[in-house]
């Protein structure tokens, strides 16, 4: 039997659908994009779509399904969004109600599915260019910080930008900016480099989410917009129902990271 | 008194607002982006926003206002979308009902304004790089063609891609692709080069809209997605009400074309 790391996206989704893989997806189907999931009732859909349009760096839309639709067209041709994600979080009025392996029983007409790009895509591009990614080296979750940079609000949705931080050696900073700039649909170029306090971060060793990582002598902290932003903002509005992927348990697509890159 | 071509965007919008300029805007406020306008009742807004998200080349969103809002925030800080466009087309159920200089009497709660990028921005970039643009040389409207490339449909909106064509000399083709690729929010890279029949165009001398232009020996026709696409598609769905700019009578923004370019 093949190792999970050797399986295609389609094979992994089939395993997930049968309930045989409910662990994080980092390192699986290397080369293929993974996506963040947000599912909302139709009454919130215009505001949230507008929020993503106005904040493309934290909210890079890869695919939006029409109300009630659970099959993707662009990201995969045979996927079912109700079963093909290893673990889902179900929130009611902003409170986590359940962590489940499939969401068939929560599904109803009028739910709108948003799939958003994920930084796994540009991290792979950094590694391919031999730029080390510290939290991967240290086998940790990426450190995330709530900044004092406001997102552009849209309807009921408003709140601060959440960023990830990766310490980069001076020799690699320019190249890291160039490489990630190519991946606009998966967070793209950094939003800030250098002084954390300039964007409202007090202590890099105390991230709001994820784990602190080592910052070596001479390295510069580089900050990218984070896919936690839309989830955090949606939660704050306390919608009747919101379903997301559980952190790290992403939707694995058939689209290559390279297909998402610009020239 | 200054010539109109020397005025700033703000000064031109003030003239337009007073009813003192109701002619086409090509050549005005050079360097600044101009925008296409589509105004729709709220019930169509999610579908149309999703259509734009799925078809970013023909429908590059620069700004979307929330229901009932008529003041832009990103494109200009002091503009009123009801008065600052030189000429509007008002459609009811897909039929042109009026051509007007301001739309105050049609305005109502729940109208949603979409402002989309326009090819004037990348044409200026081509000219700056000394790449001739034939319809400008010949003082004509750009030739536009309905292709057999389908747009990705969204809700009630579906239909074919409309393209513009500019004949480009072989020595300039690669550079023209590079330059326009930088302007993703104003139609971006071409969608096709060469054989018109490959995308369903029978006769370049018989455009569906605009004027035919001279194609010189050795030149290649290069096709870009066209902002007429969303208007044509909206008209086909015959919404109760739809207000657009009159062709060529655009919204002049305070945003520089260069601000819309990627690295």
A60, two tokens:
């890079």
A129 touches chain B (CB under 8 A): no
Residue of B42, B49, B263 with shortest CB distance to A181: B263
Using the beta-carbon criterion (under 8 Å), do B49 and A46 form an inter-chain contact?
yes
pLDDT of B5: 81
Residue of B46, B54, B181 with shortest CB distance to A45: B46
B190, two tokens:
């071409």
- Nearest chain A CA: its distance from B2 CA (Å): 36
pLDDT of A113: 98
Contacts of A189 in chain B (CB under 8 A): 263
Q: How far apart are CA A170 and CA A152, in angstroms?
A: 32
Put residue B101 in one of left, alpha, beta given phi > 0 → left and psi -120 to 50 → alpha. Answer: alpha
Percent of chain B with pLDDT over 90: 85
In degrees and rounded to multiples of 5, residue B63 shows phi and psi of -160, 140
pLDDT digits (tens, 9 = 90+) for A196-230: 999 999 999 999 999 999 999 999 999 999 999 99
Using the beta-carbon criterion (under 8 Å), do A189 and B263 form an inter-chain contact?
yes
B55, two tokens:
């078809």
State how far the alpha carbon of B215 is from the alpha carbons of B128, B129, B142, B143, in Å: 21, 20, 13, 12
Using the beta-carbon criterion (under 8 Å), do B64 and A46 form an inter-chain contact?
no
State the CB neighbour count (10 A cutoff) for residue B244.
Answer: 22
pLDDT of B235: 85
Any idea what DSSP says for residue B197? G
Using the beta-carbon criterion (under 8 Å), do B154 and A66 form an inter-chain contact?
yes
* Cβ(A155)–Cβ(B66) below 8 Å: yes
B64 touches chain A (CB under 8 A): yes
Using the beta-carbon criterion (under 8 Å), do A49 and B49 form an inter-chain contact?
yes
User: Is the ipTM value over 0.90, yes or no?
Assistant: no
Residue B83 has pLDDT above 80, yes or no: yes
Residue B29 has pLDDT above 70, yes or no: yes
State how far the alpha carbon of B2 is from the alpha carbons of A10, A23, A110, B29, in Å: 64, 68, 56, 13
Instruction: Report the predicted TM-score, pTM, of the whole model to 2 decimal places.
Output: 0.91
pLDDT digits (tens, 9 = 90+) for B141-172: 899 999 999 999 999 999 999 999 999 999 99
Using the beta-carbon criterion (under 8 Å), do B53 and A46 form an inter-chain contact?
no
């Amino acid at each position: 039997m093949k190792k999970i790391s050797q399986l295609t996206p389609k094979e992994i989704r089939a395993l997930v659908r049968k309930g045989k893989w409910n662990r994080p997806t980092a390192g699986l189907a290397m080369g293929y994009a993974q996506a963040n999931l947000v599912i909302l009732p139709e009454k919130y859909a215009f505001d949230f779509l507008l929020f993503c349009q106005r904040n493309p760096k934290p909210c890079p839309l890869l695919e939006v399904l029409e109300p009630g639709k659970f099959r993707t067209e662009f990201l995969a041709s045979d996927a079912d969004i109700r079963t093909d994600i290893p673990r889902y979080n179900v929130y009611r009025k902003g409170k986590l109600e359940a962590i489940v392996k499939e969401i068939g029983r929560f599904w109803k007409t009028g739910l709108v599915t948003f799939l958003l790009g994920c930084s796994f895509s540009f991290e792979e591009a950094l590694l391919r260019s031999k730029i080390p990614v510290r939290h991967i080296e240290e086998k940790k979750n990426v450190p995330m910080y709530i900044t004092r940079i406001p997102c552009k609000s849209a309807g009921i949705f408003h709140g601060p930008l959440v960023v990830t931080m990766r310490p980069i050696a001076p020799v690699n900073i320019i190249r890291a900016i160039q490489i990630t700039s190519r991946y606009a649909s998966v967070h793209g170029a950094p939003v800030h480099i250098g002084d954390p306090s300039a964007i409202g971060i007090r202590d890099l060793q105390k991230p709001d989410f994820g784990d602190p990582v080592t910052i070596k002598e001479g390295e510069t902290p580089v900050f990218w917009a984070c896919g936690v932003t839309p989830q955090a903002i949606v939660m704050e509005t306390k919608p009747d129902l919101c379903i997301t992927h559980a952190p790290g348990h992403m939707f694995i697509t058939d689209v290559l990271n390279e297909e998402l890159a610009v020239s």
